[in-house]
Amino acid sequence: MARPSATEYSPSHDQYINLIPESEIVPVLESQRREVADFLQKVPETVGNVRHPPYTWSVKEVVGHLTDAERILGYRALRFARNDLKPLQGFDQDPYVLTAQFNRLPLRDLAAEFDAIRRSNVYLFKGMAEDAWNRVGVASDNPISVRALAYVIAGHVRHHLAILRKRLAGDKPVHPTV
């Protein structure tokens, strides 16, 4: 399968799509699921509620955000792949994170939830008809193809996982949250 062309998505998605140089996206999604699980397995629960300046979210909030975005982007891909081309509204990530109160949940549960949603999306993309990948719908007032959504999903996780690795490798944790 070809990578999405720049005409299949808004320039705002470049930051995520450009993080995925691979041309076959389903294997990336599958390997990334294992990569995230392996990474989070090594994060102690005591670090889950910690904020590392200059970042505003705790580790748990980042994992919860990844799960929310995975659900929303996967739903968009499902709708457009099934030729349901009604425009979809955007979502504001900050109120989602605030309202969800991810810090009250065990990190292991948040990791398992992400894993479940990613598994579901992998099955969605694996079983997708060839012509469905090229369908384009409108989300957040911008056109985007199903193929581009798959790349955004992978790039979004790659982006946040790199930040988490940096945070947990070198930054001194401060400001535990409840």
| Alpha carbon of residue 135 to chain centroid | 21
Residue 121 lies in a domain: yes
Four-residue CA torsion sign, 11, 146, 27, 118: positive
Task: Give CA angle at 150 (136, 57), nearest 5°.
Answer: 120
178: pLDDT strictly greater than 80: no
Residue 96 lies in a domain: yes
Structural domain harbouring 114:
11-172
Looking at residue 54, what is its pLDDT?
Answer: 85
Percentage of residues in the chain with pLDDT exceeding 70? 95
Q: How many domains does the chain have?
A: 1
Task: Give dist(CA 46, CA 51) in Å, integer.
Answer: 12
pLDDT band at 173 (very low <50, low <70, confident <90, very high): very low
C-alpha dihedral, 102 to 104 to 60 to 36, nearest 10°: -90
Residue 6 lies in a domain: no
Task: Give dist(CA 154, CA 156) in Å, integer.
Answer: 5
Residue 107 lies in a domain: yes
Residue 78 lies in a domain: yes
Query: Residues 104-121: what's their mean pLDDT?
Result: 98
pLDDT band at 131 (very low <50, low <70, confident <90, very high): very high
Query: Residues 93-113: what's their mean pLDDT?
Result: 97
Task: Give dist(CA 63, CA 97) in Å, integer.
Answer: 10
Residue 1 lies in a domain: no
Task: Give CA angle at 171 (166, 177), nearest 5°.
Answer: 105
pLDDT tens for residues 16-57? 999 999 999 999 999 999 999 999 999 999 999 999 888 899
Task: Give dist(CA 125, CA 119) in Å, integer.
Answer: 10
Residue 110 lies in a domain: yes
The CATH number linked to 44 is 1.20.120.450
pTM for this model (two decimals): 0.93
78: pLDDT strictly greater than 80: yes
How does DSSP classify residue 105? S
Residue 3 lies in a domain: no
1: pLDDT strictly greater than 80: no
Query: Residues 135-139: what's their mean pLDDT?
Result: 97
Name the residue with tokens 């579901």. 120
- By the 10 Å C-beta count (0-12 exposed, 13-18 middle, 19+ buried), 148 is classed as buried
Kindly report the average pLDDT of the chain as a whole number. 94
